[in-house]
Amino acid sequence: MGNLNLDFFTENHYTTRPNSRKLIDKLFLNTRIYFVLKYIQLIFVSRKLALKGIYNRKAWAESSYDVVKLIEHCGGKFHIEGFDNFRNCDEPVVIVSNHMSAMESMIFPAIIAPFMEVTFVVKASLARHFLFGPVMRARDPIAVERSNSREDLMYVMNKGKEFIEKGISVVIFPQGGRRETFIPEEFNSLGVKLAKSTGVKVIPMAIKTDFWGNGKLIKDLGPIRRDREIYITIGEPIEITGKGKEQNNQIVDFIETNLSKWN
């Protein structure tokens, strides 16, 4: 596990301070050009470190925090609560969250990695991507093809067990893809199954990240919606008992309750 002692988020709650936008960002208020250009620049910096073999957990967390600050500078307002649920972890966990946009993949390392070793379950195509691939591969993700759901299940269960036995937590998005509307029936129990099989707890996360929309041509570079504030709640660890159905329903309720509060 091991805390990196980074001072990104030192309290249990975090809210973006007023007037976080820089002057240059304000000049581009009605476009997303500046955001996209700066975002790609940050990716290339991370990619360079990854190709040199020096993109470690600390560098990953720091580059992710750079994206957090970029979002704030471009008008994004964060409301994050529950950091103590990561800070107080003394064993690996399975982290499950709903999935709205590209933002989660980019900012979760800043939120999670300062407190614990962690990896993600991702699409294999992302790990092969020219731009994002080296960064993804540097952090040793669990990459699934999404062509055979049974094979993906077994692969995640086997690789997830290997990581957890090494003390590395695993992030899973059980919806299988980005959805701006949360549909409980699409939220599978993979995270609960992995936690049950490895004897660890689940930490649920509820997120509202539609500030960063999904693009029509390039999905990761969608519209920036400054009127939509960003909400993230980190739940308390949940112990899996029985078949885990009750706990999976609890996680779904946690996400639905928070989304209802934010909408």
pLDDT digits (tens, 9 = 90+) for 192-221: 999 999 999 999 999 999 998 765 545 566
Please give the Cα distance from 165 to 198 (Å, whole number): 8
Model confidence band, residue 22 (pLDDT cutoffs 50, 70, 90): low
Over range 25-31, report the average pLDDT. 52
Strands 142-144 and 118-123: parallel
Per cent of the chain over pLDDT 90 is 65
Per-chain mean pLDDT for the chain:
89
Nearest CA-CA partner of 254 in 203, 200, 190, 201: 203
Q: Could you report the per-residue pLDDT of 76-117, keeping only the tens digit for each?
A: 999 999 999 999 999 999 999 999 988 998 999 999 999 999
Q: Flag the least confident range among 61-65, 85-89, 96-100, 121-125.
A: 121-125
25 has pLDDT over 70? no
Nearest CA-CA partner of 112 in 168, 161, 69, 187: 168
Domain 13-262 class, CATH top level: alpha beta
Over range 139-147, report the average pLDDT. 86
Nearest CA-CA partner of 173 in 248, 97, 109: 97
Half-sphere exposure of 215 (CA within 13 A, CB side): 12
The Cα-based distances of 246 to 15, 183, 239, 243 in angstroms read: 32, 18, 11, 8
pLDDT value at residue 212: 84
Taking the whole predicted model, whether its pTM rises above 0.85 is answered as yes
Q: How far is CA 187 from the centre of its chain?
A: 16
pLDDT value at residue 24: 53
Over range 44-48, report the average pLDDT. 96
The Cα-based distances of 109 to 65, 169, 199 in angstroms read: 8, 12, 24
Query: Cβ–Cβ contacts within 10 Å for residue 119, how many?
Result: 19
Domain boundaries, the chain: 13-262
